Structure 1
Amino acid sequence: MGENQLASGIIAIGLGLVTGVLLFVPFVAASYRRRGRLTLGRALLWAALVVYFWAIWTYTLLPLPDPETVRCAGVNLQPFGFVHDIQESLSRSGGGLRNAVTDTAVLQVAFNVLLFAPLGFFIRALGSRGVLVAGLTGLGVSALIEFTQLTGVWGLYPCAYRVFDVDDLMANTLGAVVGSLVALPFFRRREAAATAVAQPVTKPRRLLGMFCDWLGFTLLSTSITVGIRAFLLYVMDDRQAMLDEHYSVGIGAGVTFLLWLMVTLVSGRTVGDHAVQLEYDGGALPRWAARLLRFLGGIGGYALLSYFGFFEALFVLATLGALVFTERGRGLPGLLSGQRVRDAREDKTPLASASR
């Protein structure tokens, strides 16, 4: 059992890391739109939530049994059946506090409560929701897990391979409520929305925007590449073309490059700029020229030079150097376009711009 729990934990961490990477850019964008900033503590809480989500699923569903050897489990629809189980177990062991804290029946209920306590904590800490929402969410998540087990993973198995227990629903719901109450002293009030309040433009914020551009570009181009190769292999049955990496990689990078360029030319900001709520203004160049140069001074230039390792490395070093030594970290995009970077929520009137 210990090995199974260890394996489930490793799987949960791995799936959590993958999910965290895939959702990183949307998470940053949502944080800046709702609160105007992203703190390290909040980022760590979200990372913990993602790992916790997968930990629940891997612990309750894994390991999946062999369909040939699966044994159908029972169903407990009697509420508070655990009370009778605990009484019987304690009567056999002689009762007492010492026996209670080590009793299997007691520990089973306690573990089900503790398993969902982090969910209630996260709901209050990250969603600013109270006990009622925590309890309903705990009940909903627990019911989804129990019904997944009851239906044999929704028909994957002929019958349930783990017991459907209504007492688990009750204990899990209680756990979510307890977690919400534990978080109450630390997160008493809903954080005020800061969507309309401009925040200082710092170099770490600019670096985060650049990272979002790079990560988003890499994930999208990789997804397109994998999709093309899967299409060639499974639909066109063209294994030779599928094995030609330059073909699929080139299309993936090219399509992503055009999408990023269109977003920048139309909106004036890259995907990373949108995520961290930054924009450029000022300068003497025409708008389209300034936007094009900003794009080429950032993710666009990196994408064009990505096939040339030496020049790609030089571009990255130049980008980081310009970020460090320019005002507000406007970097190469600001130097090439002659523009300055600012919070997208700042007053855009000429008077306000001139005063900064």
Structure 2
Amino acid sequence: MGEQIRLGVLAITLGVVVGVLLFVPFVALSYRRRGGFGFGRFVLWGAALVYVMAIWTYTLLPLPDPATLSCAGVNTDATAIVDVIRGAFRRRGSAAATDPAMQQLLLNVLLFVPLGFFLRVLGDRGVVAALVAGFGLSAFVELTQLTGVWTLYPCAYRVFDVDDLLTNTLGAVLGSLLALAVPRRLRGSPRLPDADEPQPVTRSRRLLGMASDVIAAWVVGVSAVVAVQLALSLLDAESAVRDGSAARVVGSGVPILLWLVVTLVTGATVGDHAVQLRFTGGELPIGLARTLRFAGGIGGYLVLGALPGAWGLVTAVFVVGSLLLVFGTGDRRGLPGLVSGQRLVDARERQEPYAAPSGRPQPPGR
């Protein structure tokens, strides 16, 4: 039982990690296909991620120690499942479900029920797709075990069992049928006809954009740190790897530089683009306005966060102040809008040429 719990925790952890990596692309895709972000759909996709990780952990892990590997057998008799069911009823009668052999079959069925359910609810795919996906995924798992993780081990470390192919496929089909209980309008991810129409700039949308900036910057920073440490390891610079200062500098600097360039070029941060927001208008030159927008938002947070520990309190004050100003400004523009003098609008809103005080028209985007 302890091993099963550990595998479950590992599956959830991996699912969360992958979910963080895909969070901003998911938000961006949601706004472009559905015009907004649905928390329920996000949770459902998160559950699907955890499920995929669970399939991997429960069917392939733990990997055995090659020194103590005991080669497993093979069951290719498709009729053996009938003997298992008959034996369970012969031994337990009406309580056949409590027989260990029967329970193993039922667990194999239940393990693939979510696959068929997710295929119909998230992908709008029916029974045939569930049957093919269930059989294909189960076959991949069984062949991975049969080949010793594709020759990583000298022989199979778990039994290749055709019964698993049958029960797993049955589970996927049952899951697809159970998903018929979900209303038709909630299945799939069709592009809504009004997805390109401007929507109100709500506080939740603004906060989601800010969160997208922070998460995306964190992913970029961590990726930069890993890349630097890997490069130093390949160069045999072990002392630099242990010190970690070079990786920290790059991990802090790359997101700052990237977000600054994106903001200066497009007038919006990565998070703004994800939730389809933009800052416009104002009296300041466009370059200065965009720089101040960057400094008053994710840029200020990243720069302060890169400073020594004594600046931690200043960073905390900056974060709290930024959140409060989202609620305290009528158009949700917050600190970036206040310091740049710009207003916050839906990026899908038609852009009007901005007339400067002198009366000379300025290009859209100001």
CA contact (8 A) 1:260 1:271 kept: yes
Take 2:200 and 2:124, find their aligned partners in 1: how far apart are those partners?
Answer: 25
Match of 1:314 in 2: 317
Q: How does 1:157-306 map to 2 (within 5 A)?
A: 157-189=153-185, 190=188, 192-194=190-192, 195-232=195-232, 234-306=233-305
Structure 1 stretch displaced more, 160-169 or 126-135: 126-135
Q: How far apart are residue 23 of structure 1 and its match?
A: 2.0
1:158 Cα offset (Å): 0.7
1:293 alignment partner AA: L
Secondary structure at the aligned position of 1:184 is classed as helix
Q: Any idea what SS the aligned residue of 1:201 has?
A: coil
Identical amino acids, percent of aligned pairs: 54
What stretches of structure 2 of length at least 5 have no aligned partner?
355-366
Kindly provide the CA deviation profile for residues 327-355 of structure 1, in whole angstroms up to 9, marking residues without a partner as x.
2321111112222222222233569xxxx
Q: State the distance in 1 between where 2:52 and 2:74 align.
A: 25
In the TM superposition, residue 149 of structure 1 has moved relative to its aligned partner by: 0.7
- Secondary structure of the residue that 2:68 maps to in structure 1? coil
Q: How does 1:91-130 map to 2 (within 5 A)?
A: 91=90, 93=91, 96-98=93-95, 100-130=96-126
Contact 1:278/1:341 (8 A) holds in 2:
yes
- Partners of 2:183 and 2:130 in 1: how far apart? 14
Question: Partner amino acid for 2:23?
Answer: F
More deviation in 51-60 or 303-312?
303-312
Structure 1 stretch 124-133 or stretch 40-49: which is displaced more? 124-133
After superposition, the Cα gap between the structure-2 partners of 1:198 and 1:179, relative to the gap in structure 1 and judged at 3 Å, is farther
Residue 335 (structure 1) aligned with residue 333 (structure 2): no
After superposition, where does 1:70-89 map in structure 2 within 5 Å?
70-89=69-88
Distance 1:30 1:265 in 2: 23
After superposition, give the CA deviation of every residue in 1:155-210 in whole Å (9 maximum; x if it has no partner).
22111111112221222122112112112121424454233233322111111111
Deviations 1:251-302 (A, max 9, x none): 2221221111111122221111111121222223333222222111111111
- Aligned-residue Cα RMSD (Å) equals 2.0
Q: Which residue of 2 aligns with 1:325?
A: 328
C-alpha offsets along residues 52-74 of structure 1, whole Å, 9 cap, x if unaligned? 11111111112222212212222
Unaligned runs of 5+ in 1: 352-356
Secondary structure of the residue that 2:262 maps to in structure 1? helix
Residue of structure 2 equivalent to 1:348: 351
The normalised TM-score by structure 1 is 0.90
Tell me the equivalent position of 2:43.
Answer: 44
TM-aligned CA deviation for residue 16 of structure 1: 1.9
- Mapped partners of 1:293, 1:170: distance in 2: 61
Alpha carbons of structure 1 residues 132 and 279: separation in structure 2 relative to 1, 3 Å: farther
Shift of 1:317: 2.0
Aligned to 1:280, the other structure's residue is in SS state strand
Q: Structure 1: which amino acid aligns with 2:315?
A: E
